[in-house]
Structure 1
């Protein structure tokens, strides 16, 4: 544990839930270009997003972190509700569309991922795949698919979005039905990816960055966006989210880091390294990175989804332990 008195004026502390292999090179570039040393704390794969969020809550009265870089905005909203974040608005934040930032700028989004179905082409042909997440309950898919533990990471966000979109009763019924249909609960999105790649599972739910990596590693793996049919519920879009921590030791350096991350250059780096989809118009990306313009998004409010997440946590815990 490091404390404020150990920090120099040329340092900034960031807590990050984005995979270290993708986020660390960007933070190293910031160090090199600004001369400000970055002290980074990363979440583990198994406790994605929950670990650093709980740490920030525990440190509320003695903040050790300047910036939270989260892989989705839900935890930022939870921290906002606990008076741990502070608004931050700059010229850079204005580059981001309004839908992808909190109205008072307690969090600002950039570089989005989406939830997708990853599948093994040797085990299931494309024309036999489910086209909606609601199809997972069909008998022909029994025991053939996997989701990550819904208590952690983007799977928690996804389940909260489903509860918000479908309503509590229908969402609970769906989760109970996929359990009855033999859904395998994996440790993480990365674990879902591995199970599909090694042929243990025919398909599973994960994020575009994991699916992109799987495609690079194996010709037997591909992915699709679910619920794209007319009147479908759509695909969950998950922007990265940045928050400035209230009363942090190096607020000014935290602002500099946020401004650095909210650039076309950073979005291009993340598009190239892990197929993240830019939010800033005019950002240069590789041809294989999908455009948000071509994806039907799930229509959710990030704030109410965050509130829903907190309400359903006990139910999700009970579901995982059944």
Structure 2
């Protein structure tokens, strides 16, 4: 990659850092990095992970798998996924990070485009289906999630549910749909929409959506609660916010999930994932960490603790997860890397 190209990616991701700062204050149920935590420095005797996933989620897993890495593991939780990716790009070869753990394929793709991620060993790549890893083998998914429409079962009849995202533009949904515009997952959905329909088509949809007066939330956790409470009739979210919420609330919950039709942009399947930096001081130990995150026990952890889909076979969640939707999951997740353009479009239409 040329220096000009790398610098342009650095600048683009720095824009994202400012645009998604609100994500860092989301609750832990949002699966994003918390604002707590401090910068770390690598002495070469420990493995340094920059995590865009929440400390409450990641730390118990690191405690369980750390012994298999060979050196102590230190984790920086000081920003959300996009902020941590931006920090890596800003630090360049001086970054103390060995590993990037992200909530979203777009951030992984941005780092890949910048040339800062190392090719992963073949045994790691073979562990994960091709659609859940970088096209050039520099990152792999650690878990998957599906975009869905959560709806209030007291307010919405199943016969009235839209088959695709164009259906929620109907005036009947005016002021009744929730969304979380600063959340990385919503922005990944918009990026997928841009890939599917082009920038002009995506902007037309966003403007029509905005004209239908959707209700903005700071995160998906509050959005799910608002749907259940009847503040809104439905909300665009990820599937895994629903299952722990309903498990805790039981029959008192007035919630259900609806999946859009296959090939609709609203049925996007996205992933959390991991990559190893080319500048890593402890590259072999970093690869060992990736292997541990793809072990059966770690995949079971993701399936049971956050109701995410495992990315290896043979793992069954304690939650009754339906099969992943087909169609939109065929999108090359590497195409979600154009986050700067998505941020610019959301700003242009007044959503962030």
Report the CA distance shift for 1:14/1:245 in structure 2 as closer, same or farther (over 3 A): same
Q: 1:267 is matched with which residue?
A: 299
Note the residue ranges of structure 1 that are not aligned, 5 or more in a row.
none
Could you tell me the TM-score, scaled by structure 1's length? 0.88
Match 1:142 to one of 174, 177, 184:
174
Query: Which of 167, 182, 203 is the aligned partner of 2:213?
Result: 182
Match in the other structure for 2:30: none
- The CA distance in 1 between the partners of 2:157 and 2:246, in whole Å, is 16
User: Aligned partners of 1:175 and 1:226: how far apart in 2?
Assistant: 17
Task: Look up the match of 1:153.
Answer: 184
- The residue that corresponds to 2:345 in the other structure is 315
Residue 50 (1) aligns with residue 82 (2) = yes
The alignment status of 1:203 with 2:234, answered yes or no, reads yes
Task: Deviation per CA, 1:78-99: give whole Å up to 9, x if none.
Answer: 0111222111124232121112
Structure-1 residue corresponding to 2:6: none
Does 2:331 correspond to 1:300?
A: yes
> Contact (CA 8 Å) 2:119, 2:136: kept in 1 or not?
yes
* Contact 1:93/1:259 (<8 A) preserved: no
1:50–1:152 contact (8 Å) kept in structure 2: no
Structure 2: 5+ residue runs without aligned partners? 1-38
Match of 2:146 in 1: 114
Task: Identify if the C-alpha distance between structure 1 residues 297 and 264 changes in structure 2 by more than 3 Å, giving closer, same or farther.
Answer: farther
SS at match of 1:24: helix
CA distance in 2, matches of 1:296, 1:260: 30
| 1:130-155: CA deviation from partner (whole Å, max 9, x where unpaired) | 23111111000000011111x44111
SS across alignment from 1:86: coil
Confirm whether residue 192 of structure 1 aligns to residue 223 of structure 2. Answer: yes
The 3-state SS of whatever aligns with 1:64 is coil
- Residue 82, structure 1, aligned to residue 114, structure 2: yes
Task: Name the counterpart of 1:21.
Answer: 56
Cα pair distance change 1:319/1:213, threshold 3 Å: farther
Q: Deviations over 1:104-141 (max 9, x none)?
A: 21111232111111112222233322231111110000
Aligned to 2:260: 226
How far apart, in 2, do the equivalents of 1:114 and 1:90 lie?
27
Relative to structure 1, is the Cα distance of residues 176 and 43 closer, same or farther in structure 2, using a 3 angstrom cutoff? Answer: farther
Question: What displacement does 1:233 show?
Answer: 4.8
State whether structure 2 residue 308 is matched by structure 1 residue 276: yes
Q: Which runs of 4+ in 1 moved over 4 A?
A: 32-35, 231-234
Q: Which residue of 2 aligns with 1:216?
A: 247
Which residue does 2:131 correspond to in 1? 99
Contact 2:100 2:275 (8 Å CA) reproduced: yes
Q: Which has the higher helix share?
A: 2
1:298 is displaced (CA, Å) by 4.1
Aligned residues: CA RMSD: 2.2
